[in-house]
Amino acid sequence: MHLLTGLLVGEMLLGSRLLRGEAARPPLELLHVLPGRLRVRLAGLKGDTDLARRLVAALEGVDGVRDASADVRSGNALVSFDDSRPTRERLIETFRGMAQDPPTEADDAPDEGDAPLLLQQIRKLGRQADRGVMTQSQGVADARTLMALAAGAWGLKSMAYPGAVSRWQGLTLCYWSFNMLKR
């Protein structure tokens, strides 16, 4: 139990992106799909006016599009179009073409500085695991989220059915899980 708490505290002290509200997101997220309307979150769009202009121009070039807009403050794009399957598929292809690739290991890696070699290797393995989970779940979940959910589930179970872990330790697990998931 103390090992798990130590790992969670260590993750917080090492600067978890999840705890700062910067959890890894997929390059393209469909937020709303309604007949004739599509809202998408595009990685890299936030704060990038050049990408927003290129995206709107590309979307307006698709047959059947009535209106397209991109908001650099939220990183979202909104498209109104004739509700036909070919138009929707071409829009998704256009979004995928404009989406930036997920960050590479070099982009994702914090400055290691004088960190011990073992810590550098552990961080590298963690980033690889995170990318693997993101790939397997098609961007739905990352490794940190899964770890937090598992800790919360174990905490709830141990509070309901104390055994090897006491109710207080279960409450601690739930507390850490909540704080990791909070954005």
Mean pLDDT for the stretch of residues 52-63: 90
* pLDDT recorded at residue 100: 54
Q: Which residues contact 98 (CB under 8 A, 6 or more apart)?
A: 42, 51, 54, 55, 58
Looking at every residue in the chain, the average pLDDT score rounds to 77
Which domains does the chain show, CATH number per domain?
2-24+105-181 (no CATH), 28-98 (3.30.70.100)
pLDDT digits (tens, 9 = 90+) for 104-117: 444 444 555 566 77
What's the whole-model pTM score?
A: 0.45
Q: What is the pLDDT of residue 97?
A: 83
Low-confidence winner among 64-68, 90-94, 119-123 (lowest mean pLDDT): 119-123
